[in-house]
Chains A and B, each alone.
Chain A
């Protein structure tokens, strides 16, 4: 099988040779010609499946099983965790090969869904995955709760970072308080720590990426430590202010997006908030399957954060006091959903086994095995959800 983007890289001679035994489908996918026409084997075992970029292709049973096997081995090797058992791999294959457009778990197996500003998608634009309906935050939150039957809901600043919330905290406190009088389901205030906003030109600290390029490793680390301190202070400030208006829960979303010092700031702020306001629950979610070592040496409770995979991240998140850990596994757009989901399930299973707290898996665009595209296909999303719950034993999504 050759996919569209690979086909485009071929020389004219290679393309001519390829065309004799294949045809170009929708979205540029190149399929093998029918074996009836080619006099080959039966095609009945070909199954529709998505690539990590959302492109729908057909793969054989053997190809899908191979991707599942290679995917789980890749996750196991990187995370030093067990691979899926042959039975689990077979179960994953059956979920992927289900002919139904949408699949689901059996009654009694359903899990909770938490979100990261989902109600914002009602009124925001394309860059936020939004549909642009002119409605207020309160209207969007209540629509999500009541029309969509959401288990939990949340609100956040349009920028969805904590730093810009600080100067408008009174507006956010007022809106949160008003909404919380009307919502019935658990209602969070969410945003990303987003330490990148503390670097020049947006913030006070020298840009470590530029310092690293010039070999100034010590200065780059110092800058990140300084930014980490600013971020921690702002996270605690916003958390305490919201606690004052009866905040039912905070969401530290996409932690570690600027590296290990970003992850550390969230852990330190979480511990401080839990110590001072123990009745306010906090969700802490990560930005990727491993903590990027932009600093490389920062530690929490004596453990180096750089390079931590989900089953290790959950232990420090738990120690810091989080109520729920949100794990993320990156989707590779050049690989099939079988490969991506196999990795996500493998990481999920290890994290859930290690955790004392609930683990919710991020299944947004481009994470957890969901294709990286603006409108994630429902066939993939439902297969991802079912697999992570049934095989990965996730406590929520």
Chain B
């Protein structure tokens, strides 16, 4: 689906964490992002959505969230548990 270029990673999280089939996972993510399903792979739309939400973008913008910082926000946005996030938060709080 394009990973960080689009919303591929977010749909992937829903498949692996909640065992959602592809259409259900897309609908869930689209609702959380406030976009249409067809725009989940629309770089022009998703780029700005990801920037606004602070969930990481594909190009390197100095100082912007990526890696664990972005995953913390992804877990909150999608309302899921991500093991690496849980471990990290347990160490900083």
- Residues from 3 to 52 in B contacting A, C-beta threshold 8 Å: 3-6, 8-9, 11-13, 15-17, 19-22, 25, 37-38, 40-42
A246 engages B19 (CB within 8 Å) = no
Q: A107-B41, A149-B58, A358-B21 are in contact. Are A112 and B83 (CB under 8 A)?
A: no
Q: A184-B56, A246-B83, A246-B86 are in contact. Are A396 and B22 (CB under 8 A)?
A: yes
Residues on the A chain within 8 Å of B83, using CB: 243, 246-248, 279-280
Among the listed stretches A2-10, A175-183, A200-208, A218-226, which one makes contact with chain B, having 4 or more residues with CB under 8 Å of it?
A175-183
- Residues from 62 to 81 in B contacting A, C-beta threshold 8 Å: 66-68, 70-71, 74, 81
Complexed CA–CA distance, A176 and B20 (Å): 26
- Nearest chain B CB to A283 CB, angstrom units: 7
A112 engages B74 (CB within 8 Å) = no
- Nearest chain B CB to A187 CB, angstrom units: 7
Q: Is the interface of A mostly helix, strand, loop or mixed?
A: loop
- The reply on B53 being an interface residue by CB < 8 A is no
Q: A186-B16, A246-B87, A283-B16 are in contact. Are A180 and B2 (CB under 8 A)?
A: no
Choose among B9, B22, B40, B60 the residue that contacts A185 (Cβ–Cβ < 8 A).
B9
How many chain A residues touch B (CB < 8 A): the figure is 41
Residues on the B chain within 8 Å of A108, using CB: 37-38, 41
In the complex, what residue of chain B is closest to A360 when comparing beta carbons? B15
B15 engages A149 (CB within 8 Å) = no
- The reply on A249 being an interface residue by CB < 8 A is yes
Residues on the A chain within 8 Å of B1, using CB: 110-113, 151
Complexed CA–CA distance, A146 and B16 (Å): 20
- Residues from 347 to 386 in A contacting B, C-beta threshold 8 Å: 355-358
- The reply on A307 being an interface residue by CB < 8 A is no
A-B contact count (CB 8 A): 123
Complexed CA–CA distance, A287 and B84 (Å): 29
- The reply on A152 being an interface residue by CB < 8 A is yes
- Nearest chain B CB to A188 CB, angstrom units: 8
Q: Is the interface of B mostly helix, strand, loop or mixed?
A: helix
- The reply on A150 being an interface residue by CB < 8 A is yes
Q: A246-B86, A246-B87, A358-B21 are in contact. Are A110 and B2 (CB under 8 A)?
A: yes
Complexed CA–CA distance, A280 and B5 (Å): 26
- The reply on A344 being an interface residue by CB < 8 A is no
Residues on the B chain within 8 Å of A356, using CB: 19
B9 engages A245 (CB within 8 Å) = no
Q: A111-B22, A184-B66 are in contact. Are A396 and B15 (CB under 8 A)?
A: yes
In the complex, what residue of chain A is closest to B20 when comparing beta carbons? A358
In the complex, what residue of chain A is closest to B60 when comparing beta carbons? A146
Complexed CA–CA distance, A250 and B74 (Å): 20
A323 engages B17 (CB within 8 Å) = yes
- Nearest chain B CB to A282 CB, angstrom units: 9
A residues with a Cβ closer than 8 A to B are: 107-108, 110-114, 145-146, 148-152, 180-187, 243, 245-249, 279-281, 283, 323-324, 355-358, 394-396
- 4 interchain residue pairs of minimum CB distance: A246-B87, A151-B8, A185-B9, A246-B84
Q: Can you give 12 contacting A-B residue pairs, CB < 8 Å?
A: A110-B1, A110-B2, A110-B40, A112-B15, A114-B12, A146-B58, A152-B12, A182-B67, A184-B55, A184-B66, A185-B8, A358-B25
Given contacts A146-B4, A246-B87, 12 further A-B contacts (CB under 8 A): A110-B2, A113-B8, A114-B12, A151-B2, A184-B9, A184-B67, A184-B70, A184-B71, A184-B74, A245-B87, A248-B84, A357-B19
